[in-house]
Amino acid sequence: MISDFESRIVRQNSCGLKYNCLIADPVAELWYDTPRHDQITAAEALSLPLELDRRAPTDWKEMGILRDHIVRPGDRIFECGCHHGITSIMLAAWTGNKGFVFAFDAVPFNVVVARRNFELNHLTNAAVYCAAIGGKPQIVNWFNDSNVIVKPGEKVIANSTIMVRLDDIAQDRIDVLKLDVEGCELDILEASAGLIDRIPRLAIELHVDLLPRGGVARVLELLRRRRLHVLWENGTFEQYTGQNLAERVHLFAF
């Protein structure tokens, strides 16, 4: 993943959290630094602490819902699909030093960047691991456009990584599970149904277009005992009462 992109560090302010962020590639620039922030040095970043105000207005709807309805101080959080760790930083700030964030991503470059972002914010209550979370232990190949999709690999290539089940890595309790796994959400829910039934709060990005035929119905069946809320693509957030899920949405159980 070599490119001529010139990385930079910026100071961000989102959902009431001021934090440092390494902008490492064009995707990160598009997602996290548009419009562009002033660049700061690593030394300047390391001298600036996290600044948290949980009562501040939210400018990122999905993360605002997590802050206000999902994450509680002291939570143990599993984040499957963390990209460059920006959402992990926010989760770690909200759960505090008595909680912990276990973050996972399939792409080694993303994991390296996430670890650097943790360092730039002096995080001691978060760790990131290079693995895809899915339905069964296997070798998978990842394909990176703007979102990463993993598929079983017939042979090991440069873009190969390991896939593990949630049950294989879960230790003790999980209070919050956040899934952003580009179509693997159904596999995870089915393979680890018993474990997930015991997790009190869920945040699932449902990639309807990447699920198999009937996949949405299978997801909803697995979550039928939950009180669900849905964040639609147009920004509307409401209780789920059986509306048609024909587009990518975020589902929350709390």
Q: Where are the domains of the chain?
A: 54-253
Q: Read out DSSP for 78-94?
A: EEE--TTSHHHHHHHHH
- Considering the entire predicted model, what is its pTM? 0.93
Task: Please check the confidence at residue 146 and state whether its pLDDT lies above 60.
Answer: no
Q: Are 151 and 143 in contact (CB under 8 A)?
A: yes
Q: Are 118 and 89 in contact (CB under 8 A)?
A: yes
Question: What mean pLDDT do residues 141-164 have?
Answer: 77
Quick one: CA dihedral 116, 203, 93, 173, positive or negative?
negative
Q: What is the largest CA-CA distance in the chain?
A: 52
> What pLDDT is stored for residue 142 in this prediction?
82
Q: Which residues contact 192 (CB under 8 A, 6 or more apart)?
A: 165, 166, 167, 170
* Nearest-10 crossing angle of helices 108-120, 86-95: 40
pLDDT tens-digit map of 70-105: 999 999 999 999 999 999 999 999 999 999 999 999
- Joined tokens for residue 43: 């030394």
CA distances from 41 to 4, 54, 152 (A): 19, 27, 41
CA pair distance 33, 83, nearest whole angstrom: 15
pLDDT tens-digit map of 125-134: 999 999 999 9
pLDDT tens-digit map of 15-44: 999 999 999 999 999 999 999 999 999 999
- Joined tokens for residue 222: 């697995």
What are residue 4's phi and psi, to 5 degrees?
Answer: -95, 15
Pick the CATH number of 54-253 from 2.40.50.140, 3.40.50.150, 3.40.50.720, 3.40.50.300: 3.40.50.150
